Structures are given as C-alpha cells and as structure tokens.
Structure 1
Amino acid sequence: MAVVLNSGLLLLLWRWLQPRLAEPLLGRWLLPLLALKVLACAIATYFIGGDPQYYLTWSRAFNQQLWAEPGAWLRTLAADEFHFGGLHLVFHGFSNTLFFIKLLSGVQLAANGSAFLTGLYCSLFCFVACWELVRAVARAWPATPAGAMLIGFLAWPSVVYWTSGITKECLLVGSGAAVVALVVGWLYGGRPVRLATLGLAILLAGLHFQMRFFFAGLLLAALSGLGLLRVAERLLGGLRRWLAVLLMAGWLLGGAWVLGEISPVFSLNKFTSRLLINYHTLQQKSAHGPHLEYPNLQPTGESLLQHTPQAVAAALSRPWPWEGSSPLYVAAGLENLLLLVLLLWAAAETVRGRPGRLPFAVVVALLAYCLLLAALLGLSTPNLGTLNRYRVALLPYLLWLALQHPGAARWLRRLGM
C-alpha cells in the first residue's frame, strides 16, 4: 500500500509541477524553493526530537491500531482517548495535538513509519498551498512584486524552518494560505464561487481551526471583513480610506461582541482569564531562560490594551541576537534585526506616499490580522522560542506587506523576482 500511495502522490506532484514550471517569472523559482523546503524537511527529520518525535511515535501507534483493529481506530478518531497494545493516551476535551496525531496516523499509510516521508508530506502540503497563494496574488495584482510573496511564504528562514518536517505549523500556515488564495481569487481574481471550491474552502478553514482556534478566528474575521469592504466598494463605486478602516474596525469589534453574547466561551472575561493562565504557565517554564515579563498585567480589558503596544513590539522583535546561548537564538535575533530594517523601510516609504500598489482594503485586512495576532502572541507567550515558532502564522503576511513599496520592488527585480 505504501508503494502504491507514494507512487500516486508522486504522480500528482509531477502533474502539479509541470504547468507551473512553464509560468514566466514564478516558474524559475519553483524548483529551487521546493528543493529548499525538502532540504529543510530532511534536516528537521534527521535531527528529530521533542514535539515532532512525540507526534511521530504516537502516530505510528495509531496506525498499528488501524491495521490490527480498524473498528477501534475509527472509534478512536471520534474520541479523546487512545488505548491499544498497552499504550494509553488521554486528553480531556479538544486537543489540536491529538487531532494532529490522528491525521498523521493516516499519513503513515504512505510513510510506513518513515520520519522523513511523514515530514515530507506535511511540508509539501504547506509548500503547495503557499505557492497557490503566490499564483493567486500574481494573477489578481500583476503590478505588485511577486518576490514579496516568494520571500515571505517560501524563503524567509524562520518560516521555512518551522513549516518543514512534522510540525503543526505546516498544516496551520498551509491551510491558512490556501483559504486566502481562494478568497483572493473570488474577490479580486474574477473566479466564480463554485460548489467544489466553496466546499474546499470550508474543509481548509476547518483544518485551520483545528490546528489553532484563535489564530484561525482572527484570519477568517479579517477575510470576512475584506469581503465586506469589497462589497462596499462595489456598491458605493469606491471607498474612502478612513471609511475602510472604520468598517473593518466595526466589523471586528462587532463580531467579537456578538460572539461574546452568543457563548460565554467567547466572552471578554473568559478570554482574559485564559490568556493570563497561558502567560503564567509559560512564564514559569521559562524562568531560567530569556522570556517576556509583564509584572502589572491583569485579567482585564483595560490592562490588556495598556500592554498591547509592548506585546506587539516584543512579538516582532524578540529575541535579540545577544539573548540566549544557543545558535538558534542568535540566528533568530539576526533575523529579527533584518525584519525591523524592512519594517522601518516600509514605514518610511509609506510616509513618503509610496506604499505600493496593493489595494488598500487588502492592506487593512492583512494589517489587522497581523497586529491582532502579534498582540495575542506577545501577551500570552512569554517564552521566546515558542513565540518565534507561533509567529510564523503572521510573519509571511507581514513580509508581504513590508515588501510592497517601489524601493523593495526594485530590489526584488534585481534578484530576478
């Protein structure tokens, strides 16, 4: 079965590659970036440990149950517990870790226990989804620099690192990129909303929610707000920038209020208390290493707002190169310095009136998503290593925005992008 499945998947990959290799500009970068992704996957699975090893070990056990007791495996898919061959794994309520392991147990039908193949399929899912987003943006806005997307989603070091191998980020970033690609095609690319693509969007959005609930909620809220702005543009024959900002802010705040009224799970008190629990739990685990500290942080909306600027700044700039003793911290710090340079460059060009050619409504939606998620991560994730991994969900979109201006476009053209 593994031979048949791998042969079929290899054929699908080849059929997907052929027409894309022939595309002008983008085609020349497809194989080099794919090779980079495969290399990163090989390194990640060769030095496997920690969470990826945990996911792989349990997915193998789940797959063994599938072969030995298919009925029990099907029941396990709908349960929060796993019991087989003297092994026991119990979660109380929904767990994205357990969901990920269940998915990987199906991947094992092709991977046959191989760490590399398991990681490769996760990595390829992310790569294909991100490439389709790059193509969708290039079709919708050919005047914008395609290199901004290539760097942000497929070449930026931490994004490549964390979305390669057996990681939840592969599915999180990939599913999010695929949903954005479909929405861009519908709203700006002239693609009709067909039943098949709508079903695919729902499936991908569901996967995105399963990976990380709050991340997905923010992305889908921003995309639905973009849909609102697009409808308003067509009805009014255009949209003032200040009105676009107000509409997006009203949509997000109104949506949060409605959700809080529908269920106490989404209420402000529940959200702030859950955030503080996450913050204190990770802070205790990070006490002997570099971490963020908010001594006066309280479980109130006012306190969260007061700490939000500091949290956003920390999420986008920490760790610094001199923090931590491992080479990974130094590399992350150097990358952060480069990111700050690009953001300051983009800010300066925007002040000069040269922000780029991306539609303002798209900029508002993406910027809202990036800033809200950065605030959420900065407030709830004091561990700098975890923060660096979690923020790959927003980093590609932030780089997409930061590399839109004419100065960056000229630099990207010199690189052949």
Structure 2
Amino acid sequence: MDLRDLIVTPLVIVLVYISAYLLRGRVTDGITRRYFIPALTCKIIGALALGILYQFYYGGGDTFNFHTHGSRHIWEAFWDSPEKGLKLMFSDGTDYRGIYEYARRIPFFRDPTSYTVIRLAAFFDLFTFSAYSATAVLFSVISFIGLWMLFQSFYEIMPERHKYIAAATLFIPSVVFWGSGLLKDTITLACLGMATFCVKRLFLDRRVRVSYGLLLLVSLYGMFLIKKYILINYLPAAILWIYTANLAHIRSMVFKILLFPFISALVVVAGYYAVQQVSKDDPRYALNKLSNTAKVTAYDIAYQTGRDAGSTYTLGELDGSFGSMIKLAPQAVNVSLFRPYLWEVRNPLMLMSAMEAMILLALTLYVLRARWTRILSVLTNPHVVFCLVFSITFAFAVGVSTFNFGTLSRYKIPSLPFYTLALIQLYFLKSPSTVEEFERTE
C-alpha cells in the first residue's frame, strides 16, 4: 500500500456505493433491501483488512505476489506499450517474445491458475491506477455479487427465514474475511454463488434465459481455471440437486421407487463424466490420481508452502492410496467444520477460526437434538441434499489435503455457507410427505 491507495481507494469506494444504491432497487425487495448495503460494507472492510493483515502481520503472501509482483507489472507494460500490455494479459505463460522484461518479474507467469487472478487484477488496475486497496475493493464487489446471488437463491426457497439465510450466506466472519480480498478464494466463491443461482433458475425454476446460461458457463469455467477441485466437488452435487428436485414433482410413489435406481445411476455416471472432463487438462485431478495429489498437497502445505500460515495438524498416515484417504474421511470433515478446538489455538487468527468452529458445532448438535425424529424425512428434500453433499464432500477434500489450520481456514470457506444453509433447512423445513407440501417449501 502506498500514497496512491489513499487517493484512489476512497474514490473507488464512493463509486461502488453510488452504483450499489442505484442498483439496489432492481435486485432487492422490501425484505432483502435491509441486507444489501451492510453485506457490501462487510465485504469491503474484509478486503481492506486482509490487505493490512498480509502487509503488517505476514509481511507478504499471495495477495502481495498477485498484485505487487504480478498485475502491477502488466499495468506498467500498458503504460509503456498497450501492445505489450495486451500480450501479457493474454499470454499462455510460454511465449516471452517482446515481454520478457516484464514477465521475468512475475513469479506466477507460468502458473495458469494464479495468472488468471493476476489478469483480472491487471484489468481492474487499469481503472485504479494499480492501487492495491482499490483493486482489492473491486475484488470484494465481485465476491459480494456472487454471494448475493447465493442468498437470493435460498431466500426464494425459504423467504420467511430470511434472517438466517442472510447470516449463512452474507455474514459468516471467515467467509467475509478470507473471501473478500485479492485472492483466488474470492473469485471461486463468487463463481459458486453465481453457478448455484443459475442452476436453480435454469433447471429447478425452469426460467430459461440466455443470460443465465452464459453466466453459468462463465462461473463454471472460472472455477475450472482457478481451482479445479472446487468444480470437481460442485458438479456432482449440482447434478444431484437437479435430478432430486425434478424427481420430487413426480406424483406416483411407485413410479418414483422404480425410477430411483436409474436416476441414481445417471447421477453417478454424470458426476464421473464431469470429473473426467474437469481433470482432462490436469492429470493431478484424475480419479486415479486424486489420492496421491491429496497426499502431496497436504504435506507441501503442512511443511513447506504453508508452514508459516498457522499450526499444522495431522489426521493419520496418507500413503497416496485411495483407501488411506477414504479412511480419514470422518476426521477430515471434522477438522474442516469443527476445528481448531479452543485448546489448539496458537495465534489470534486461529482464535477466530476456533470460535466460529465451536459455534458451528453447537448449532449442529442443537439441530440434531431438536429435530432428530424427522431428520431422515427432511433429508429427502433436494435443497438439503445439495447443500449437504457439496459441503461435506468439500470439507473432506480440503481437510484431507491441507494439514495446516492457517491455510485450512481460507480453503474451507466454500463449504461453510452451504453447510450452514443445510442446518437451517434441517431445522425449519417440514417433512414433505406430498408433492404439494414440497412445492410449498419452494
């Protein structure tokens, strides 16, 4: 952060709020209007706080490398020669001709996932004069848009529980903090929200529009470019959501029972095919390589790249086999959702994660205790199935492949809104014994 941040950032924030006030009436109603500006404010504060943390606490890190050692060099190239700037923006990381003087100073030039974030930051830099804080604020706006769409999706399902839906999607502290700054997680979180909104609109509400289709493709492609493992977890859950929601509208119970095995097989095949397609360009994410990728990633984060991010943890021995990974599934889900425990806290950031995890555990136990007699019937609700399948499988994926509480607190944020939404629905939804009752929950 430097002098340009103090000059440009306030102007960008003012423009963001003016735009928000002008657009609020088009994307809110009399109830949701109250959450719009507070949620946007939280995201902006989160983006600025993240930058301060990385500069004064960590003394560097990903957000610093993406901007100061990434997008700023592209911005400088644009000032020197627009042609060079455009070549850097659209480079595939292999051709240095004419841009070597800039590309050699970008550590992530040959890393496609990181360079995608750098490209977006460079685009924003063109309007912010490469002021870090101002660019981070624009990243927070992208994240806010995605999470607002996620909020809107489940508000339409349970409008009378708008306070709880807003808390789950817009105001979870770690999601606000880690999902607002100039990081990969900010963009993938936005993509998740946008994709969920479009899936609901297109396949559940049957409101077919070209804009929804294009936005769905863009959001899925964004996850593919930046974090393939999120897409690998999301696609099967979304496919299951679509099929179970449409299955619920079939009136004949006999036909449902006869159709269920075929639908289940179709979901498995579709999920498998989706994962295969996602992993085609990166063999690390092929099904037969996932366990070894998890092992390599876990030990790298615990003892190399993430050793300074917080205390390490262990779940047991990973030998690279699929069996060893599955055996650790219960512990992996537990560590993602309910740890660190208070007695495992080693620094102030871990305390925030521990308090949040403790609250989430208490809410889980409360919901299970209060509604245990009808949990199984409510679990047939398509929206509950979707939220649980994605949040649990994702919690397993990051828990078994991280081994570092500091890094995990950032990586796990996509699972938290969906898991909390599942708890809300388990507590408030009625058992849909008929099609009409299910439709009323929508």
How would you bin the TM-score normalised by the shorter chain?
Answer: 0.7 to 0.9
Maintained 8 Å contact 2:24/2:33: no
Say whether 1:322 aligns with 2:339: no
Cα deviation, 1:57-91, whole Å, max 9, x if unaligned, reads 02111111123222223332232156335843355
1:41: which partner in 2?
Answer: 47
In the alignment, what sits opposite 2:424? 403
- Equivalent residue, structure 1, for 2:174: 158
Match of 2:301 among 273, 279, 282: 282
What does the per-residue CA deviation read over 1:297-323, in whole Å, with 9 as the maximum and x for residues that have no partner? 222222222111111111112212222
1:273 — aligned with what? Answer: 292
Aligned residues: CA RMSD:
3.3
Corresponding residue number in structure 1 for 2:220:
205
1:69 maps to 81
Question: 1:268 Cα deviation (Å)?
Answer: 3.3
2:117 equivalent in structure 1: 100
Higher mean C-alpha deviation, range 239-248 or range 166-175:
239-248
Partner Cα distance (2:337, 2:262) in 1: 25
Counterpart of 1:114 (choices 131, 134, 159) is 131
- 1:28 aligns with one of 31, 34, 47: 34
The correspondence of residues 189-338 of structure 1 with structure 2, limited to 5 A, is: 189-190=205-206, 192-234=207-249, 247=263, 251-252=267-268, 255-256=271-272, 265=283, 266-285=285-304, 290-338=311-359
AA paired with 2:133?
F
Cα shift at 1:48: 4.0
Q: Can you give the 5+ residue segments of structure 2 that lack an aligned partner in the other structure?
A: 1-7, 56-60, 431-442
Corresponding residue of 2:22:
15
Q: Which residue of the partner structure matches residue 79 of structure 1?
A: 92
Instruction: Label 1:359 to 1:198 Cα distance change in 2 as closer, same or farther (>3 A).
Output: farther
Equivalent position SS for 1:59: helix
**1:344 partnered with 2:356:** no
Question: In the alignment, which residue of structure 1 is the partner of 2:3?
Answer: none
Q: State whether residues 154 and 160 of structure 1, in contact with CA within 8 Å, keep that contact through their aligned partners in structure 2.
A: yes
Point out the more displaced range, 225-234 or 330-339.
Answer: 225-234
Distance change >3 Å, CA 275–CA 405, structure 1 → 2: closer
CA distance in 2, matches of 1:245, 1:125: 40
Comparing 256-265 with 204-213, which one deviates more in the overlay?
A: 256-265
Residues of 1 paired with 2:265 and 2:384: CA distance? 13
Separation in structure 2 between the aligned mates of residue 369 and residue 281 of structure 1, nearest angstrom: 25
Is the CA contact 1:356–1:404 (under 8 Å) kept in the aligned structure 2? no
Q: Deviations 1:325-358 (Å, cap 9, x if unpaired)? A: 3111112111111010111122223412168979
Q: RCO higher in 1 or 2 (8 Å CA, sep ≥ 6)?
A: 1
Any conservation in 2 of the 1:230–1:361 contact (CA below 8 Å)? yes
Distance 1:384 1:48, change over 3 A: closer
1:199, CA displacement in angstroms? Answer: 1.2
* Structure 1 unaligned spans of 5+: 410-417
Structure 2 match to 1:60: 72
- SS of alignment partner, residue 296 of structure 1: coil
Quote the offset at 1:107 in angstroms. Answer: 0.5
Matched, 1:167 2:183: yes
Residues 242 and 308 (structure 1 numbering): CA distance in 2 closer, same or farther, change over 3 Å? Answer: farther
**Letter in structure 1 aligned against 2:397:** L
Report the Cα distance in structure 1 between the residues aligned to 2:49 and 2:387, rounded to whole angstroms.
32
CA distance in 1, matches of 2:260, 2:404: 36
- Report the Cα offset of residue 380 of structure 1: 0.6
| Gap change, CA 1:36 and 1:357, over 3 Å in 2 | farther
TM-score (norm 2): 0.81
Moved more, 245-254 or 308-317: 245-254
Residues 1:260 and 1:216: Cα distance change in structure 2 (over 3 Å):
closer
Within 2, Cα distance between the matches of 1:351 and 1:403?
Answer: 14
**Matches of 1:26 and 1:380, distance apart in 2:** 37
The 1-side partners of 2:374 and 2:262 are apart by 21
Looking at structure 1, the residues matched to 54 and 269 of structure 2 have their Cα atoms a distance apart, in angstroms, of 42
Amino acid of the structure 2 residue aligned with 1:230: A
Q: 1:129-140 counterparts in 2 under 5 A?
A: 129-140=146-157
Q: CA 1:174–1:80 in 2, change beyond 3 Å: closer, same or farther?
A: same
> CA separation in 2, counterparts of 1:215 and 1:31?
28
Number of aligned positions between the proteins: 404
Contact 1:319 1:332 in 2 (8 A): yes
**Does the aligned pair in 1 maintain the 2:239–2:270 contact within 8 Å?**
no
Q: Determine helix, strand or coil for the equivalent of 2:374.
A: coil
Deviations 1:357-379 (A, max 9, x none): 79711211221111111111111
Partner amino acid for 2:112? S
Aligned to 1:142: 159
CA 1:296–1:65: 2 relative to 1, 3 Å? same
